[in-house]
Chains A and B, each alone.
Chain A
């Protein structure tokens, strides 16, 4: 048995070695603001305040991401916004990817707050963690995406992406032949629900017979689950899909079946040009630039910023190659009406899925009512857990 014990200890030593290598690997790519987390960036230079020509101190900026910048959607666009801001202002920001919406987030944000001046936390689930850290670091400015809690040093920002969802609905309503349109939603929260409703209203503006079937994936980013959800919608007869998810999995699944689909957040044409419909997109760059500039100038104030199509924070991706010109024209016309303020997506009359009237003709929902929406409009089939 002695021989065996010796062999075991050698094995254990090898194991320890592997674990050391492993932890060395993961500390390079996970949860730590290191050089590698910032593509092409240099952590040491960015944690030192850089001096500009005018002698003003440049703020040290950090971003917390829910997924990898390579997700092709949500985080990809935030990362593009970061690059835009870096180029405009000539500074380098730090990024931390794949930060879960859990107590880990608070740890990461706390770590960042110790040597940064402005921190963007780019997912809804970071709200309470951001607020907790903001209370502890009153001199650091926090900007949280899509939330509703603020503090003197914590603002929120988001955009009316439902305007673009409405336009996507117009294209979907025109393109469907089966009149069954599928929607893969991440979570049953107002942000997703009002986008589904705007999408359905857009569809009904051109095709009153079409129905929207909703499936919840209960994840922001899990391409295998998103794909299964998309396939179950296709099997039910849907020929146009839209996904409020961070990956292009729905579009890829639709392309394999010869259906049309759109994703979310980013122009996803490159994943399947033939099968691509369109979808709402984000353009965060100008906003990030403006925020960091106002911090440099000392004029920053906590606010709840809401961008829209008019100021460019929300956009619509170019329509796919198989969408005919007359549909494109229809979408363009509606877009012009939204830009001019002539068309309000949530204007009455609106009835909910059970047939009860939610809004009379001639009125429109206030932004607050939209942000608290927890009911489906008529023509949407799905369940919202209460």
Chain B
């Protein structure tokens, strides 16, 4: 049972950055805009968080700075995709390339400086003695708790409020939403910016909690995994939580198999996350072959008032 709890704890700690980025991506894609810039936004969020924390030592300011920089990049993405109606895939890829390069450049001076202990933990000592639950929940940090709350809030927002209905409407059928009096362009701007802020927060979480030193390219593909998770989770925040932790667990499982004394070469164990990604995609594709994909119906299509599609 101990091993089980340890794997869950490790899965939560490496899954939380993925979760933030996936939730941000879900908000953006629910509004009908493809989001492929997660890798770049996470890196920018991480590097700015690191710089701010090293200079000020203030956690709130650090998180605000990380959200602010990704919001600025979100505005660029929104301007390209909503106002200029540029190709959303190209714009997202450009953000990734841009964020990767710029973060490496900005991070030169702070590479290798530790930022340990930035995020306080919520120590629930009364919970410690409860089996399983105590082991998992008694020493989580505040950002992880925030991610739990965010999942519930976003789920209720998207599925249970009229604002959420509007969000789904502009993603599924913008002309109808427009006729209903919902300002499609403004809302798309808003959701892209808020979603981008969450992705920036994912970068800050990765840096402050998970790997407390800035290194060039430290996301190592996590932004892309988040893009895949949006699809695995079928644009649903609750499912996003489980998918993110599943992939978080894959990060750590290879080392644990080595420690059991398995004879499988460590090179093969390192391939586990990638092999599982392919298997999960095949399984989901097969299981859902007769169902709608859950994707917003006008995802990737720019909306132009009075134009037929």
Contacts and interface: CB of A to CB of B under 8 A. Distances in A.
B132 interface: no
Interface string B251-266: 1100110110111011
Interface string B220-253: 1000000000000000000000000000000110
A248 B114 contact: yes
Interface stretch (A26-34, A106-114, A309-317, A328-336): A26-34
Interface in A103-152: none
A25 B255 contact: no
Given A11-B84, A247-B215, A23 B255 contact: no
Contact of B213 (A22, A26, A223): A223
B82 to A, nearest CB: 11
A19 interface: yes
A272 to B, nearest CB: 8
B237 to A, nearest CB: 25
A19 B84 contact: no
Interface stretch (A83-91, A231-239, A288-296): A231-239
A213 B213 CA distance: 26
A224 B220 contact: yes
A28 B105 contact: yes
B149 interface: no
A254 to B, nearest CB: 11
Nearest to B262: A383
Given A11-B90, A215-B258, A232-B255, A26 B101 contact: yes
Given A18-B94, A247-B213, A252 B266 contact: no
A8 B108 CA distance: 35
A4 B302 contact: yes
Nearest to A226: B211
Which interface residue of A26, A221, A223, A228 has the most chain B CB atoms within 10 A?
A: A228
Contact of A76 (B85, B101, B112, B211): B112
A11 B93 CA distance: 13
A29 B251 contact: no
B83 to A, nearest CB: 8
Interface in A210-250: 213, 215-218, 221-224, 227-229, 231-233, 235-236, 247-249
B13 to A, nearest CB: 8
Interface in A9-53: 10-12, 14-15, 18-19, 21-23, 25-26, 28-30, 36
